[in-house]
Amino acid sequence: MVNDDLDRHLIDRWQRDFPLAERPYAEIGAALGLAGDEVMARLERLLAHGALSRVGAVVRPNTVGASTLAAVAAPSGDIERVAALIGDEPGVNHNYEREHAYNLWFVATGASTEAVRESLKRIERRTGLAVLDLPLVRAFHIDLGFPLFSDDGMRGRGGKLAPPGAADADDSALLRAIEGGLPLVERPYAAVAEHLDWSEMDVRARLGRLIEAGIVRRFGLVVQHRSFGYEHNAMVVWDVPAAQVEATGHAFAARPFVTLCYQRPRRPPHWRYNLFTMIHGRDRAEVERQIATLAAIPACGLVHEILFSRRCFRQRGARLSA
C-alpha cells in the first residue's frame, strides 16, 4: 500500500495546503522529484487500497448544511443489522461501533437542521431504537490531518472559525461538486469548472476564499487512519461543570495527541457528558496513558468514560447533496 518514502512524504505533507494551481499534481511532483502523472498514479493506488478516502475539502461542521453526532444502544446480537439500517440513510457519513451501552455512533448530515431531524426520525422508525442526538455546541479543535510517519509540525491548530451557515449558494454548489474528491486528471479544477459551467479561475479563487474563511478547514489528502495502523481510537466523554467548559476545552485541545475536542449538549437522564475528545493511536496502552494525562489537568478531576472504537461500518466525507 505505502511503497516508499515518497509515498510517506506525499501523505504527510499534503493532508493540508493542497495546491490551488492550474496543475496541482505537477506542482506536488516538482517538490517530490516526480512527474505529475506519477503523483496521480500514486494517489490512485492509495485510493484503490482504501488508504485515502479522497483528495479534497474537509468542511467545518454546520457551515454548509447541518450535521449532528448521534448514537443508539443496539442489542449485542443485532449490531450488524442496525448498523446497516443506519447506513442506508444517505446523509450518514460516519458509522462506528464503540465500547459502551450506546454502541453505535454515527454522524448524520443534511441540507438543514430540519432535514437532519427527519433523518434521525427515519432511523428511529427503521431500527426501533431511540436515537441520542448530540449536535455540536462549540468546537475547540477539529482536525484529523496529523502526520502519520513523522512529527514535522504539519498538525493543524487554531485557524478561523466560520459561523454556522456561512457558505452561500455558489459555495455550496462547489462543495457538493467535489464532495467525492478532486478528479485525478492533469487539471482537476478545470474538470470541476466544466461540470459547474464556471471558469477554472472561479473554482480556484472560490476554494481559496472558502479555505481563508475557515469554511473549508483543510484541503488535501483525506486518509483512512485504520489503514495506517491507527486501530486504537478512543472517544473520551467528560462531565464538565458549565463554568469550566471553556478552560478545560482549550486545555485539552492544546495537547498534541488530541485530534478532536468539542462541546455537545447533555441529555439527562440518559447522557451526562458535555465535552468530547478523540485520540487516535496505534497502541491501546499508550492511548490510555494519554487519557490519564488529560484527566489530571483539571484540579478537581472529572468524571469521564472511554469509548474505544471496535468496528468502522462507514467513513466518508459529508454528503452535502444528501
Q: Which helix (H) or strand (E) holds 258?
A: strand 258-263
- Whether residue 110 is found in the same domain as residue 16: no
- Choose the final residue of a domain: 104, 135, 166: 135
pLDDT of residue 322: 55
pLDDT confidence of residue 153: 43
Domain CATH number, residue 237: 3.30.70.920
Would you state the pLDDT for residue 151?
A: 65
Running along the chain, 322 residues long, what does each successive block of 10 average in pLDDT? 88 96 98 97 96 93 90 97 96 94 96 95 98 96 82 51 71 94 98 98 97 93 89 96 95 94 97 97 96 85 94 73 55
pLDDT at 178: 96
Specify whether 252 is located in the same domain as 303: yes
Cis? peptide before 269, omega within 30° of 0: yes
153 shares its domain with 33:
yes
pLDDT at position 319 is 58
CATH of the domain at 56: 1.10.10.2890
pLDDT of 300 reads 60
Domain presence at residue 117: yes
Residue 207 resides in a domain: yes
pLDDT at 255: 94
For 147, list phi and psi in degrees, rounded to 5. Answer: -65, 140
Number of independent structural domains in the chain: 3
The answer to whether 69 touches 232, Cβ cutoff 8 Å, is no
Predicted local distance difference test score (pLDDT) of residue 194: 98
Note down the domain range covering 101: 63-135
CATH number at residue 79: 3.30.70.3460
Report the 10 Å Cβ neighbour count for 125: 10
Distance (Å, whole) CA 309 – CA 197: 42
H/E stretch holding 298 reads none
Tell me the pTM.
Answer: 0.86
Element (H, E) at 95: strand 92-98
Q: Indicate whether 67 and 208 sit together in one domain.
A: no
How buried is 188 (Cβ within 10 angstroms: 0-12 exposed, 13-18 middle, 19+ buried)?
buried
